[in-house]
């Protein structure tokens, strides 16, 4: 069907949608709902529907871009190296928050989804929603969730995080960039981290820290909790 689309067409569509998203974002005065990732994804999905190209073909064309996510994750060590001295005096609060917050993120998502009638498969797919994509996919495979749903849930969470975090944290009067950056990395992983870097380099580095700690902790705890849940339930 859409063979003419090819690999380059898919990659080109992503880049054009991102550029258009960036322009919309800037024109709107940086309205969080129009963040390039969100606006660009909506534009891309609309284009794929119009052109009748299926998602798998599109994704195959974007493998080069997905490959860069690996080195980009490693690269987060550089800003972290420059900002880590700012962690002094905050080690205990940050560690307590990541343990309690990561657990809270999983339990609140599962509780609400269960209450709204999600099936077990959806629940398993949602458990790792606050974790950075590569770790979330690993966890989801491990516990028997659907990888496509998990990936969607993770990015949706990131989008919700960058829309919700600024007003909520301002309302709580959390204005230290180290603290709100950390919250964004914890609740909204890579998408929140990217957004935090746009606002302030210190917030970005602390978001990386939050992302890394939440991901590590979740990768160990979620599979164990699911196994325990199956054993007792």
User: Per CB under 8 A, which of residues 29..68 are in contact with other proteins?
Assistant: 35-38, 40-42, 44-45, 48-49, 54-55, 58-59, 62, 65-66, 68
Query: Closest distance between other proteins and the C-beta of residue 101, in Å?
Result: 4
Reduced 3-state DSSP string for the chain:
CCHHHHHHHHHHHHHHHHHHHHHHHHHCCCCHHHCHHHHHHHHHHHHHHHHCCCHHHHHHHCHHHHHCHHHHHHHCHHHHHHHHHHHCCCHHHHHHHHHHHHHHHHHHHHHHHHHCCCCHHHHHHHCCCCCCHHHHHHHHHHHCCCHHHHHHHHHHHHHHHHHHHHHHHHHCCCCCHHHHHHHHHHHHHHHHHHHHHHHCHHHHHHHHHHHHHHHHHHHHHHHHHHHHHHHHC
How near is the Cβ of 13 to other proteins at its closest, in Å? 9
State which of positions 64-123 bind other proteins (CB under 8 A).
Answer: 65-66, 68-81, 84, 90, 92-94, 96-97, 100-101, 104-105, 108-110, 112-114, 116-119, 122
Give residues 173-212 in contact with other proteins (rule: CB under 8 A): 173-174, 176, 179-180, 182-183, 186-188, 190-191, 193-195, 197, 204, 212
Taking contact as CB under 8 A, which single stretch among the options 1-9, 26-34, 148-156, 225-233 is the one that binds other proteins?
Answer: 148-156
Shortest reach from residue 42's CB to other proteins, in Å: 8
């Amino acid at each position: 069907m859409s063979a003419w689309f090819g690999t380059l067409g898919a990659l080109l569509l992503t880049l054009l949608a991102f550029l258009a998203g960036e322009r919309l974002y800037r024109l709107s005065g940086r309205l969080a709902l129009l963040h390039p990732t969100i606006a660009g994804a909506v534009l891309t999905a609309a284009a794929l529907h119009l052109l009748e190209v299926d998602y798998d073909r599109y994704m195959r064309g974007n493998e080069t871009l997905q490959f860069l996510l690996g080195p980009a994750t490693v690269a987060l060590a550089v800003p972290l190296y420059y900002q880590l001295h700012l962690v002094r005096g905050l080690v205990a609060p940050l560690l307590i928050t990541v343990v309690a917050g990561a657990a809270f993120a999983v339990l609140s998502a599962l509780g609400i989804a269960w209450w709204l009638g999600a099936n077990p498969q959806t629940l398993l797919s949602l458990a790792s929603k606050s974790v950075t994509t590569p770790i979330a996919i690993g966890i989801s495979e491990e516990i028997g969730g659907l990888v496509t749903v998990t990936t969607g849930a993770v990015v949706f969470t990131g989008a919700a995080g960058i829309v919700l975090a600024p007003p909520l944290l301002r309302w709580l009067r959390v204005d230290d960039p180290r603290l709100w950056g950390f919250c964004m990395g914890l609740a909204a992983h890579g998408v929140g981290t990217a957004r935090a870097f746009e606002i302030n380099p210190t917030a970005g580095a602390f978001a990386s820290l939050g992302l890394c700690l939440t991901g590590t902790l979740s990768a160990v705890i979620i599979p164990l909790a699911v196994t325990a849940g199956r054993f007792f339930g």
